[in-house]
Amino acid sequence: MSTALIVVDIQNDYFPNGKMELHNAENAAANAAKVLEWFRTNQKENIFHVQHLASNPAMGFFLPDTDGAEIHEIVQPLENESIITKHFANSFLETDLESRLKEKGITKLVVVGMMTHMCIDATVRAAVDLGYETTLIEDACATRELMYQDKVVPAEQVHYAFIGALQGMYAEITSTEEFLK
């Protein structure tokens, strides 16, 4: 069974001074970089970077041809690594990610990236629906606080609520440290 790493949306707009700053983005990206380095050493050709580009400027971030849409330097793709461009939360929707994975005989995925409650959740659920055995490195993901009417849900609670919802039926959840052992 072949395993691939999917690095989802670790882009400049999610970092301090970006247009959609996330809670704990630097720590999550540092952990994602450790997992990426492990894959570069052990699974060289099975690395896929996903880059979200806004198809509607009203989104306000990840606007094409801006620094904010660029993949962050800590996980900058190498020449031999694939970059998948997407326009939706789900990394599989209207992209060639699934066909590229099938082409390489990939059956297992390891997912890291941003935002836990949106693109990570959508990508992990889609991956499982497509038949991939999926591992999510929870401390290599980041999100932000959410609001509903007058209720504010802190980022850490948002993160763990979505991690908890994905655990078991959708993904094996682990930490960077546990994965690297």
Amino acid identity, position 140: A
- Quick: pLDDT tens for 77-106: 999 999 999 999 999 999 999 999 999 999
- Quick: pLDDT tens for 44-73: 789 999 999 999 999 999 999 999 999 999
Task: Answer yes or no: are the C-beta atoms of 116 and 157 closer than 8 Å.
Answer: no
Question: At 121, phi and psi to the nearest 5?
Answer: -55, -50
Q: Quote the pTM value.
A: 0.96
pLDDT (average), residues 141-160: 97
Contacts of 51 (CB under 8 A, 6+ apart): 9, 11, 69, 71, 83, 84, 85, 86
Residue 44: per-residue pLDDT: 77
- How many other CB atoms are found less than 10 A from the CB of residue 45? 11
User: What's the chain's Rg over C-alpha atoms?
Assistant: 15
- Quick: pLDDT tens for 20-41: 999 999 999 999 999 999 999 9
